[in-house]
Amino acid sequence: MAAKPVSLQDQFLNTARRSKAPLTLFLLKGVKLQGVITWFDSFSLLLRREGQNQLVYKHSISTIMPAAGLDLGELSAPEGSRHPALQDAFLTAAARERKRMTVFLVNGVMLEGLVTVHDQFSLLLERGGQVQLVYKHAISTMQPDEPLSLGGMDAGEEDEE
Protein backbone atom coordinates (compact mmCIF):
# COMPACT_ATOMS: atom_id res chain seq x y z
CA MET A 1 0.00 0.00 0.00
CA ALA A 2 1.41 3.39 -0.99
CA ALA A 3 2.12 5.89 1.76
CA LYS A 4 -0.38 8.73 2.04
CA PRO A 5 1.26 12.04 1.08
CA VAL A 6 1.77 14.43 4.00
CA SER A 7 -0.20 17.65 3.60
CA LEU A 8 1.42 21.07 3.60
CA GLN A 9 -0.31 22.04 6.84
CA ASP A 10 0.85 18.81 8.54
CA GLN A 11 4.46 19.49 7.46
CA PHE A 12 4.21 23.08 8.74
CA LEU A 13 2.50 22.18 12.03
CA ASN A 14 4.89 19.26 12.69
CA THR A 15 7.91 21.52 12.20
CA ALA A 16 6.41 24.13 14.53
CA ARG A 17 5.49 21.50 17.15
CA ARG A 18 8.89 19.80 17.10
CA SER A 19 10.81 23.07 17.36
CA LYS A 20 8.46 24.39 20.08
CA ALA A 21 8.42 27.64 18.11
CA PRO A 22 6.20 30.40 19.49
CA LEU A 23 3.59 31.41 16.94
CA THR A 24 0.61 33.62 16.39
CA LEU A 25 -2.70 32.17 15.20
CA PHE A 26 -5.18 34.58 13.66
CA LEU A 27 -8.76 33.40 13.79
CA LEU A 28 -11.35 34.19 11.11
CA LYS A 29 -12.96 36.87 13.29
CA GLY A 30 -9.59 38.61 13.80
CA VAL A 31 -8.79 37.24 17.27
CA LYS A 32 -5.05 36.76 17.81
CA LEU A 33 -3.80 33.80 19.87
CA GLN A 34 -0.13 33.32 20.76
CA GLY A 35 1.51 30.18 22.05
CA VAL A 36 3.22 26.90 21.16
CA ILE A 37 1.55 23.99 19.37
CA THR A 38 1.85 20.83 21.45
CA TRP A 39 -0.45 18.50 19.50
CA PHE A 40 -2.66 18.51 16.41
CA ASP A 41 -4.87 16.26 14.34
CA SER A 42 -7.04 16.65 11.23
CA PHE A 43 -9.55 18.97 12.88
CA SER A 44 -7.93 20.78 15.79
CA LEU A 45 -4.72 21.72 17.53
CA LEU A 46 -3.65 22.20 21.13
CA LEU A 47 -2.06 25.57 21.82
CA ARG A 48 -0.04 26.02 25.02
CA ARG A 49 -0.40 29.63 26.13
CA GLU A 50 0.22 31.26 29.47
CA GLY A 51 0.70 27.86 31.11
CA GLN A 52 -2.67 26.54 29.89
CA ASN A 53 -3.72 24.33 27.00
CA GLN A 54 -6.34 25.69 24.63
CA LEU A 55 -8.11 23.56 22.02
CA VAL A 56 -8.43 25.46 18.73
CA TYR A 57 -10.52 24.13 15.85
CA LYS A 58 -8.74 24.45 12.50
CA HIS A 59 -11.88 25.67 10.71
CA SER A 60 -11.70 28.83 12.84
CA ILE A 61 -8.06 29.64 11.92
CA SER A 62 -7.21 31.98 9.06
CA THR A 63 -3.41 32.12 9.32
CA ILE A 64 -0.53 30.86 11.45
CA MET A 65 2.67 32.90 11.64
CA PRO A 66 5.82 31.88 13.54
CA ALA A 67 7.26 34.58 15.83
CA ALA A 68 10.71 33.99 14.34
CA GLY A 69 12.06 32.14 11.33
CA LEU A 70 11.01 28.52 11.18
CA ASP A 71 13.32 26.10 9.38
CA LEU A 72 10.85 24.46 7.05
CA GLY A 73 13.45 22.78 4.86
CA GLU A 74 12.03 21.69 1.53
CA LEU A 75 8.27 21.64 1.81
CA SER A 76 6.40 20.03 -1.02
CA ALA A 77 2.81 19.82 -2.08
CA PRO A 78 1.39 16.39 -2.93
CA GLU A 79 1.29 15.57 -6.64
CA GLY A 80 -1.90 16.64 -8.39
CA SER A 81 -3.96 15.22 -11.20
CA ARG A 82 -3.19 15.56 -14.92
CA HIS A 83 -5.75 18.35 -15.34
CA PRO A 84 -5.39 20.72 -12.39
CA ALA A 85 -8.28 22.77 -11.08
CA LEU A 86 -8.18 26.49 -11.80
CA GLN A 87 -7.01 27.35 -8.28
CA ASP A 88 -4.17 24.82 -8.55
CA ALA A 89 -3.05 26.23 -11.93
CA PHE A 90 -3.27 29.78 -10.53
CA LEU A 91 -1.34 29.04 -7.32
CA THR A 92 1.27 26.88 -9.11
CA ALA A 93 1.90 29.71 -11.58
CA ALA A 94 2.15 32.21 -8.70
CA ALA A 95 4.73 30.04 -6.92
CA ARG A 96 6.69 29.29 -10.10
CA GLU A 97 6.78 32.89 -11.30
CA ARG A 98 7.32 34.34 -7.80
CA LYS A 99 4.82 37.15 -8.38
CA ARG A 100 3.76 39.24 -5.40
CA MET A 101 0.19 38.39 -4.41
CA THR A 102 -2.44 40.38 -2.54
CA VAL A 103 -4.68 38.06 -0.54
CA PHE A 104 -7.96 39.23 1.00
CA LEU A 105 -9.35 37.10 3.80
CA VAL A 106 -13.06 36.64 4.47
CA ASN A 107 -12.73 38.88 7.54
CA GLY A 108 -11.40 41.77 5.40
CA VAL A 109 -7.75 41.43 6.36
CA MET A 110 -5.32 42.01 3.49
CA LEU A 111 -2.08 40.01 3.25
CA GLU A 112 0.73 40.45 0.73
CA GLY A 113 3.60 38.18 -0.18
CA LEU A 114 4.82 35.39 -2.40
CA VAL A 115 3.01 32.06 -2.60
CA THR A 116 5.80 29.53 -2.10
CA VAL A 117 3.87 26.25 -1.97
CA HIS A 118 0.25 25.12 -1.72
CA ASP A 119 -1.94 22.06 -1.42
CA GLN A 120 -5.65 21.29 -1.26
CA PHE A 121 -6.29 23.11 2.02
CA SER A 122 -3.56 25.67 2.63
CA LEU A 123 -0.72 27.73 1.22
CA LEU A 124 2.48 29.33 2.47
CA LEU A 125 2.79 33.07 1.99
CA GLU A 126 6.28 34.56 2.34
CA ARG A 127 7.06 38.20 2.99
CA GLY A 128 10.31 39.72 4.18
CA GLY A 129 11.84 36.38 5.14
CA GLN A 130 8.80 35.42 7.26
CA VAL A 131 6.28 32.78 6.26
CA GLN A 132 2.73 32.17 7.35
CA LEU A 133 0.41 29.27 6.78
CA VAL A 134 -2.86 30.51 5.28
CA TYR A 135 -5.90 28.25 5.27
CA LYS A 136 -7.80 28.45 1.98
CA HIS A 137 -11.16 28.50 3.78
CA ALA A 138 -10.13 31.93 5.12
CA ILE A 139 -9.41 33.42 1.67
CA SER A 140 -11.99 35.33 -0.31
CA THR A 141 -9.87 36.68 -3.21
CA MET A 142 -6.29 36.67 -4.50
CA GLN A 143 -4.76 39.10 -6.97
CA PRO A 144 -1.21 39.04 -8.35
CA ASP A 145 0.60 42.33 -9.01
CA GLU A 146 1.26 41.15 -12.57
CA PRO A 147 -0.58 38.69 -14.85
CA LEU A 148 0.28 35.01 -14.41
CA SER A 149 0.91 32.52 -17.19
CA LEU A 150 -1.63 29.78 -16.51
CA GLY A 151 -0.30 27.43 -19.17
CA GLY A 152 -3.15 27.54 -21.69
CA MET A 153 -5.94 27.79 -19.11
CA ASP A 154 -6.14 31.55 -19.73
CA ALA A 155 -6.70 31.12 -23.48
CA GLY A 156 -10.32 32.25 -23.16
CA GLU A 157 -9.35 35.73 -22.02
CA GLU A 158 -9.75 38.69 -24.33
CA ASP A 159 -6.53 40.33 -25.47
CA GLU A 160 -6.09 43.71 -23.81
CA GLU A 161 -5.07 46.61 -26.03
pLDDT number for residue 84: 67
pLDDT at 63 > cutoff 60: yes
Q: What pLDDT sits at residue 156?
A: 46
pLDDT value, residue 149: 87
C-alpha span between 95 and 6 (Å, rounded) = 19
Q: Determine the pLDDT at residue 82.
A: 56
Whether the pLDDT of residue 161 is over 70: the answer is no
pTM: 0.75
Pairing of strands 61-66, 130-135: antiparallel
- In this prediction, residue 73 carries a pLDDT of 73
Where do the H-state alpha helices sit in the chain?
8-19, 86-97
Q: What is the pLDDT of residue 67?
A: 87
Domains of the chain and any CATH numbers: 8-66 (2.30.30.100), 86-144 (2.30.30.100)
- Is the pLDDT score of 34 beyond 90? yes
Report, in angstroms and rounded to the nearest whole number, the Rg of the chain calculated over CA atoms: 17
Query: Do 101 and 94 contact (CB within 8 A), yes or no?
Result: yes
In this predicted structure, which of 12-16, 119-123, 134-138, 149-153 has the lowest mean pLDDT? Answer: 149-153
Q: For the chain, what is the total number of helices (H) and then of strands (E)?
A: 2, 10
Q: With a cut of 60, say whether residue 33 has pLDDT above it.
A: yes
Please provide the average confidence, as pLDDT, over all residues in the chain. Answer: 86
DSSP labels, 20-54: T--EEEEETTS-EEEEEEEEE-SSEEEEEETTEEE
Say how far apart CA 159 and CA 94 lie, in whole Å.
21
Higher pLDDT, 16 or 74: 16
Residue 68's pLDDT band (boundaries 50, 70, 90)? Answer: confident
Alpha carbons 8 and 6: distance in angstroms, whole number:
7
Q: Which of 65, 87, 82 is nearest to 133 (CA)?
A: 65
